Every structure is written in C-alpha cells, then in structure tokens.
Amino acid sequence: MHIETAVNLRAWNTFGLPATAQTLVHIDEEADVRRVVDHPEFGPAPKFILGGGSNIVLARDVTACVLKVEIPGLRIVEERADAVIVEAGAGESWHRLVAWTIEQGLGGLENLALIPGTVGAAPVQNIGAYGLELADRFDSLDGVDLVTGRGFTLDRRLCRFGYRDSVFKHELAGKSVITRVRFRLPRPWQPVLGYLDLLRKIEETGVTHPDARQIFDWVCAIRRAKLPDPAVIGNAGSFFKNPVVTPEQCRDIIARDPHVVHYPMDDGSFKLAAGWLIDACGWKGKSVGGAAVYEKQALVLVNRGEARGAEVITLARAIQESVYGRFGIRLEPEPIVVG
C-alpha cells in the first residue's frame, strides 16, 4: 500500500479548504482495501473515504484513516438488445466516464456531464442534473466491507437511492468502500429534454431532435456558463438541495412570490429552486471571511482564496436562517461537513 502521513488535504478537496490528514492510504485496487482491513493499526481505526473531494467541507483536521480511492478502468461489460452495460473503476473521473461513453457512441449519461468528482462517489450522493439522476441509469456496484474485508455487490434496490441520498449515507456510511460501478444505458436511446435550460437551447439553436453528443455539448456549455471551475475558484458545486414541498406549500409560496421557480414531481409534490430562494433573500455576492455566495449562481458557495471551513459553515447557516425566515423552507446542505 502507498501510505502517507501528515497530508495537507487542500489539494484533495475542490473547495480548497485547509485540513490535514494524519494518515492517507492510496487505494489503487480492491486488494488494497483488504490490506487496510487486515492492517493491525488501520484495520480497527475509523475510516474516511475520499474520492474527488468535490462534495465535502473540511472544517477540521481528519483524524480518521483517509482512504483515497483511485481505482481506474473503463469498459463495456455487455451489449444486449435493450441496453449496454458499462463499468468504471471507482477512482475514475465522473466526467471522463460520461465523455468516454459519448466517444463510444453510447447515449444515456449525457445530462450528467461535467459534474465534478469520482465514479465511486456518484452513487453515494445519487448525483443528478438536467432532469436525470444516477439512479435512472444505475445497474449495480461492487464494494468491500471495511469490517470483514469481504466483497459485495449491490443492485439498485439495495442502494436505496433517494434525492441526493443512498444507503451509503446511512447504514453503510464509513463502513464500506465502493470499488466499481456499472451503468445500464438503455436501447433505444431516448433524450431527456424536460429541463428548462435544455428547452432554451432547442429554441436558440433550432435543433429540435438533438443526439446524445449535442446534449452533452449543451450541458457542458450551460454548466460552464453558470458554475465556477473548481480549479480556478474553490467550490463544492451546488451547496444546497432543491427543497421538495407539498402542493399546498407551493401554492402558499407562489401566492407570496409568483416568480418562484418550481418544478412538478411525479408524486404530485413540487421541487423549488434553492438558488432562486437564496437569490430572493439577497445573498448573491455576499461573503463571510473568505467564503462567499457566487455572483452568477446563488446556489454555489465559493472560496475567495483563504477561506476556512468554519467560514463556509457560518455562511451556510446564515443563508438557511434567512430562507427559513422568509419562505418557511429549511434548506439542506448537499456536501458532507467534516467537523
């Protein structure tokens, strides 16, 4: 195993927040996880699983043994009449996987282009964007139990996916490492175009029947226009989940604020645009220390250069209180807060 001590994690989290890991183990293959489990020191110690660091806020040093998952690999597992099954190592870049499927002539993941992070972290969060969630294309995943060292495979039902949620945030939190993930890309391919920004692209371009690559390009352009590049401005993407409310709650909010952005859900509830709620409360561009609300998208909190985790948390809590005071809605953070 490749083991490091006293590792500065600033470069390992997209927010660029300062924190130190006492011990960091690079996981390059499934066998490395078993070596950690069998290790006399690391085996019994608490574990912290780190992928691309795109969904965490580090508010303190990490005393748990950090497992940096870097397992590579992209391949087509099976081609069937109704679907193509593709597999990716947990350490692969999520966007690289999406771009690779497009290069292979396989549609299905294009709406999820440019989401930062690794493939192994994607099921934990059940990532989603532009009308599609990972769960919609998920087939199964492999992992290793951090107590027994035994491998396991979970299907969609056992992952218990919810809105930005999964079993890995609950019963399996810190107790397992995802090593490989498989996706089911349906045949025939059907575009997912219900999201407002994509409908605008159709109107702007006149392309009424886009293929998967066209949608991929559109999503990349939309995200680049709206969201800051973590390599330039530290951030963790969308900081808050879009709240889901009852029809009665939605009608009440619309009565007070007719311009609130909202989307109907299949179960009759409504999803509200958290960024709109934050912007309506006047937070866009405001800051606490080095942490700020991004000027182009109020849903994103950014590091202006020397922010600390405590400043990000203070800013986030102030936003939550403000939105609750005006709309009666409690915003829930997407990133995992360490400390």
Encode pLDDT of 230-279 as tens digits. Answer: 989 999 999 999 999 999 999 999 998 999 999 888 889 999 999 999 99
Contact 11, 303 (CB under 8 A): no
CA distance 123 to 139: 11
Q: What's residue 187's pLDDT?
A: 96
- CA-based max dimension of the chain: 63
**161 pLDDT tier (thresholds 50, 70, 90):** very high
Task: Please tell me the distance from the alpha carbon of residue 20 to that of residue 15, in angstroms, as a whole number.
Answer: 14
pLDDT grade for 196, boundaries at 50, 70 and 90: confident
pLDDT grade for 174, boundaries at 50, 70 and 90: confident
Mean pLDDT of 100-129: 97
Helix, strand, coil percent content, the chain, rounded in steps of 5: 30, 30, 40
pTM of the full structure: 0.90
Contact, 46 vs 64, CB < 8 A? yes
Structure-token match 């294309």, residue found:
137
Pairing outcome for strands 83-89 and 74-79: antiparallel
The set of long-range contacts for 39-47, using a CB threshold of 8 Å and a minimum separation of 24, is 39/1, 46/174, 47/146, 47/174
Measured CA to CA, the distance from residue 3 to residue 257 in angstroms comes to 54
Residue with the two structure tokens 């996987």? 97
Q: Which of 9-13, 165-169, 208-212, 264-268 has the lowest mean pLDDT?
A: 264-268
In a 13 Å sphere around the CA of 242, the CA atoms on its Cβ side amount to 20
Angstrom distance (rounded) from CA 263 to CA 196: 10
Question: Alpha helix (H) ranges present in the chain?
Answer: 30-38, 94-103, 122-125, 156-159, 196-205, 212-226, 247-256, 274-280, 309-327
Burial class (CB in 10 A: 0-12, 13-18, 19+), 256: exposed
Q: What percent of the chain has pLDDT over 90?
A: 94
**H helix count then E strand count, the chain:** 9, 20
Residues 124-152: tens digit of each pLDDT? 999 999 999 999 999 999 999 999 999 99
Joined tokens for residue 310: 């405590």
pLDDT given at position 19: 96
Annotated active-site residue 164? The verdict is: yes
- Active-site pick, 110, 133, 311, 334: 334
Q: How sure is the predictor about 194, in pLDDT bands with cuts at 50, 70 and 90?
A: confident
Tell me if residue 256 is catalytic: no
* Residue 8 reports pLDDT greater than 80: yes
Mean pLDDT of the region 161-170: 94
Res 1: pLDDT: 83
Question: Could you give the dihedral angle defined by the CA atoms of residues 38, 39, 42 and 46, in that order, rounded to the nearest 10 degrees?
Answer: 10
Catalytic residue selected from 93, 166, 176, 238: 238
Residue 58 has pLDDT above 90, yes or no: yes
Inter-CA distances, 73 with 89, 93, 200, 284, 338, Å: 5, 10, 36, 40, 29
Q: 334 an active-site residue?
A: yes
Exactly one of 164, 184, 223, 308 is catalytic; which is it?
164
For residue 339, pLDDT over 90 is answered with no
Task: Give the residue among 69, 65, 21, 24 at the shortest CA–CA distance from 47.
Answer: 65
Local structure of residue 216 (DSSP, 8 states): H
Strand order across the beta sheet in which 244-245 lies: 244-245, 270-272, 262-264
Which pLDDT score is estimated for 134?
98
305 pLDDT tier (thresholds 50, 70, 90):
confident
- What is the arithmetic mean of pLDDT over 27-47? 96
| CA–CA gap between residue 120 and residue 124 (Å, rounded) | 8
Residue whose C-alpha is closest to residue 289's, from 267, 305, 278, 275 = 305
- Give the model's confidence band at 90: pLDDT under 50 very low, under 70 low, under 90 confident, else very high: very high
Identify the pLDDT of residue 130: 94
Helix (H, G, I), strand (E, B) or coil at 334: coil
Closest CA relative to residue 303, chosen from 15, 14, 54: 15
323-333 confidence digits (pLDDT tens): 999 999 999 99
pLDDT score at 150: 96
Residue 14 pLDDT greater than 90, yes or no:
yes
Mean pLDDT estimate for the chain: 95
